[in-house]
């Protein structure tokens, strides 16, 4: 079974940009979807956006900031989350999740493989 791990989270200033990476332990086949979620203290884990490896299509939550972009690396092991103009309300633990599916599900319960998360803190 594949394992995934997030990296790139750190303390930044408001207005900064940050790119998070989600790296899989092996090749991610066409039949998989990888998505990004985040969870702020005291809040539910929310879907941000995802990518379907079959055709590189992406889907974003309506509530996801337009400042966030999901993209893949050149190899089939890494997914990125580019975050621009970060604001204090973006402070959260960011998770990536993987599922064998043909649809980019915006629901956390659909995903069965999760990373441990990476902390992003935005100071004002």
Q: Which residues contact 55 (CB under 8 A, 6 or more apart)?
A: none
Residue 117: name the closest of 38, 31, 60 by CA. Answer: 38
What is the distance between the alpha carbons of residues 24 and 20, in angstroms, rounded to a whole number? Answer: 13
Give me the chain's average pLDDT, please. 95
H or E element that contains 71? strand 68-72
pLDDT for the residue 96? 98
Q: Is it the case that residue 124 has pLDDT exceeding 90?
A: yes
pLDDT tens readout for residues 28-44: 999 999 999 999 999 99
């Amino acid at each position: 079974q594949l394992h995934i791990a997030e990296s790139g989270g750190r303390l930044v200033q408001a207005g900064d940009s940050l790119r998070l990476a989600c790296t899989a332990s092996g090749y991610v086949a066409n039949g998989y979807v990888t998505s990004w979620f985040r969870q702020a203290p005291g809040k539910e884990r929310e879907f941000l956006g995802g990518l379907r490896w079959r055709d590189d299509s992406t889907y974003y939550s309506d509530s996801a900031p337009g400042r966030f972009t999901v993209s893949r690396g050149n190899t089939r092991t890494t997914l990125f989350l580019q975050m621009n103009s970060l604001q204090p309300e973006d402070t959260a633990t960011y998770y990536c999740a993987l599922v064998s599916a043909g649809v980019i599900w915006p629901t956390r319960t659909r995903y069965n493989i999760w990373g441990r998360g990476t902390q992003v803190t935005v100071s004002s």
